[in-house]
Amino acid sequence: MKNIALSKDAERFIRKQIESGRFENADEVIDAGLQMLASNEQPLEEWLRNEIPGRYDELIEGRAEGVSIDDAFSRLEDRHRARLAAEAKSADEGR
């Protein structure tokens, strides 16, 4: 599976990484990207494997209540806003 089609943006990015001296070739850039993707996916997969079955059982057995989709999205938006605010504050403090 050596041949892959890349967008022009991806090709430019890879070229830029090689030119910076950080990587010697496209294979190294792609390997690093895949390693990063795998490391980001692993915690989610572990959470899904470890948390969801127990939570589902609690819900089915009546030991927990579900949350409406509107409430879930509202909570996610609140968390996202809080994270953005924290990142902005951190960036301001770093200046």
pLDDT for the residue numbered 1: 60
Residue entry with tokens 């690093």: 32
Name the pTM for this structure. 0.51
SS (H, E, C) the chain: CCCCCCCHHHHHHHHHHHHCCCCCCHHHHHHHHHHHHHHHHHHHHHHHHHCHHHHHHHHHCCCCCCCCHHHHHHHHHHHHHHHHHHHHHHHHHCC
Length of the chain: 95
The Cα 16–Cα 66 span in angstroms is 48
Select from 85, 65, 84, 67 the least CA-distant residue to 75: 67
The 10s digit of each residue's pLDDT in 27-79 is 999 999 999 999 989 988 998 999 989 888 888 888 877 788 999 999 999 99
**What local confidence, expressed as pLDDT, does residue 93 receive?**
82
Q: What would the pLDDT profile of 4-24 be if each residue is shown by its tens digit?
A: 899 999 999 999 999 999 999
